[in-house]
């Protein structure tokens, strides 16, 4: 058993692993406290105790299956969004979908079609991984309302499938939610008993793809906001800013602050959450217990520079509440 190799591999999927152990030094202090002559056969048990301290769950915490089912629901939400706006791959687009598609440049449309394909593949992958525990595919109608109107199709994003700027705004909101949701679920996949490493790897791979989707969409929106036609900017954009492909602070509340601010705010930790896991807002400047803005004050970097360098997790209840913005009243899909 190579303990250093285990730590090295874990650090690849959880860069803050040493902070979860309190500190690198304390890990080995705990180990040496077991006695110099500890038997080799006892090392796995001792190491497990340390892991439990870092990733231990209390009663009621979600299992690996729970996390994957939760992720699959989000993927259905995203996949159906792109299908409804752009048309399902392999089918003939409706007149409305053709009109919307014509409002994007060929380069951006190709990127959106790629994102649509990715989301469909995520659904297939997670559903296959869950097997008999999969989530049944929701109906194409009567479940989601991407205008945010709870079934009226007249919500704050009423023109989502006719206005390219609003379509990108909602797409960004969904992808940003997915990125934080996957990061929030990762600790439970790490700590769940008998979770195959391939499951965690799959979830983290999807997380990275969702992040690339969000970056691409953000670039499209912010480029439009700084174009020669500022009126083409989507809600929440700042025409005076330079295009950025990452979240800055709390993103001014997102595409439509009244509805999307929670995507970038702090999450409330459920009762089952270990004390080592927190859910700060995206403008967080403290990492590993160190306030980076204070510690590096001599560099005169703005607070936004430190918040932009990291993404933050969101807990399941917060994500479900955000996702429910796009379901019809009475839907139990995200319950």
Q: Give the pLDDT of the chain (335 residues) as one tens digit per residue.
A: 454 555 555 555 455 555 555 444 444 444 444 444 444 444 444 444 444 444 444 557 788 889 999 999 999 999 999 999 999 999 999 999 999 999 999 999 999 999 999 999 999 999 998 999 999 999 999 999 999 999 999 999 999 999 999 999 999 999 999 999 999 988 877 765 455 566 777 888 899 999 999 999 998 987 776 554 443 444 444 444 445 788 999 998 988 899 999 999 999 999 888 888 899 999 999 998 999 999 999 999 988 899 999 999 999 999 999 999 999 999 999 98
How far apart are alpha carbons 278 and 262 in whole angstroms? Answer: 16
Instruction: Mark whether 35 and 80 lie in a shared domain.
Output: no
* Residues 237-246: b if buried by 16+ CB within 10 A, e if exposed: beeeeeeeeb
Instruction: Mark whether 145 and 221 lie in a shared domain.
Output: yes
Q: Are 30 and 92 in contact (CB under 8 A)?
A: no
Q: Residue 22 is part of which domain span?
A: 3-55
Instruction: Mark whether 46 and 72 lie in a shared domain.
Output: no
User: Which of 36, 55, 74 corresponds to the end of one domain?
Assistant: 55
289 strand-pairing partners: none
- Residue 23 lies inside a defined structural domain of this protein: yes
Identify the residue whose tokens are 């909602």: 170
Instruction: Mark whether 97 and 143 lie in a shared domain.
Output: yes
Instruction: Mark whether 191 and 250 lie in a shared domain.
Output: yes
| pTM for the predicted model, two decimal places | 0.78
- Residue 290 lies inside a defined structural domain of this protein: no
DSSP class of 250: T
Q: What's the structural domain count of the chain?
A: 2
User: Which of 32, 55, 78 corresponds to the end of one domain?
Assistant: 55
Instruction: Mark whether 188 and 318 lie in a shared domain.
Output: yes
Instruction: Mark whether 38 and 91 lie in a shared domain.
Output: no
- Residue 334 lies inside a defined structural domain of this protein: no
Task: Give the pLDDT confidence score for residue 176 in this predicted structure.
Answer: 96
Tokens representing 110 are 């190709």
Instruction: Mark whether 220 and 150 lie in a shared domain.
Output: yes
- Residue 309 lies inside a defined structural domain of this protein: no
Identify the residue whose tokens are 């009244």: 258
- Residue 191 lies inside a defined structural domain of this protein: yes
- Residue 331 lies inside a defined structural domain of this protein: no
With a CB cutoff of 8 Å and minimum separation 6, the contacts of 79 are 116, 119, 120, 122, 123
Instruction: Mark whether 140 and 12 lie in a shared domain.
Output: no
Instruction: Mark whether 95 and 236 lie in a shared domain.
Output: yes
Please give the C-alpha separations between residue 24 and each of 15, 33, 162, in angstroms, as whole numbers: 12, 15, 53
Tokens representing 247 are 């979240």
- Residue 294 lies inside a defined structural domain of this protein: no
Instruction: Mark whether 83 and 32 lie in a shared domain.
Output: no
Reference 90, options 123, 122, 119, 113; nearest CA is 113
- Residue 286 lies inside a defined structural domain of this protein: no
C-alpha triplet 15, 304, 167: angle, nearest 5°: 90
Instruction: Mark whether 210 and 77 lie in a shared domain.
Output: yes
At 144 the three-state DSSP class reads strand
C-alpha triplet 176, 178, 184: angle, nearest 5°: 110
């Amino acid at each position: 058993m190579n303990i250093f190799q285990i730590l090295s591999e874990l650090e690849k999927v959880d860069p803050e692993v040493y902070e979860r152990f309190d500190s690198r030094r304390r890990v080995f202090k705990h180990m040496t406290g077991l006695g110099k002559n500890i038997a080799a056969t006892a090392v796995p048990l001792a190491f497990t105790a340390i892991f439990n301290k870092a990733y231990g769950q209390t009663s009621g915490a979600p299992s690996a299956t729970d996390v994957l089912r939760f992720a699959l629901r989000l993927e259905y939400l995203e996949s159906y969004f792109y299908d409804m706006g752009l048309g399902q791959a392999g089918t003939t687009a409706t007149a409305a979908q053709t009109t919307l598609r014509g409002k994007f440049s060929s380069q951006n449309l190709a990127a959106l079609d790629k994102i649509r394909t990715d989301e469909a593949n995520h659904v297939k992958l997670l559903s296959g991984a869950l097997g008999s525990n999969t989530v049944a595919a929701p109906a194409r109608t009567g479940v989601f309302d991407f205008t945010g109107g709870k079934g009226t199709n007249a919500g704050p994003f009423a023109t989502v499938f006719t206005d390219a700027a609003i379509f990108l705004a909602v797409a960004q909101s969904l992808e940003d939610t997915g990125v934080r949701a996957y990061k929030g679920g990762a600790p439970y996949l790490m700590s769940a008993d008998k979770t195959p490493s391939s499951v965690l790897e799959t979830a983290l791979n999807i997380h990275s793809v969702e992040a690339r989707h969000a970056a691409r969409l953000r670039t499209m929106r912010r480029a439009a906001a700084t174009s020669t036609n500022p009126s083409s900017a989507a809600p929440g954009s700042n025409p005076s800013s330079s295009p950025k492909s990452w979240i800055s602070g709390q993103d001014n509340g997102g595409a439509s602050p009244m509805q999307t601010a929670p995507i970038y705010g702090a999450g409330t930790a459920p009762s089952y959450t270990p004390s080592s896991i927190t859910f700060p807002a995206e403008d967080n400047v403290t990492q590993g217990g160190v306030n980076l803005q204070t510690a590096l004050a001599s560099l005169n970097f703005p607070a936004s520079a430190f918040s932009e360098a990291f993404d933050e997790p969101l807990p399941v209840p917060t994500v479900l509440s955000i996702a429910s913005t796009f379901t019809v009243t009475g839907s139990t899909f995200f319950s």
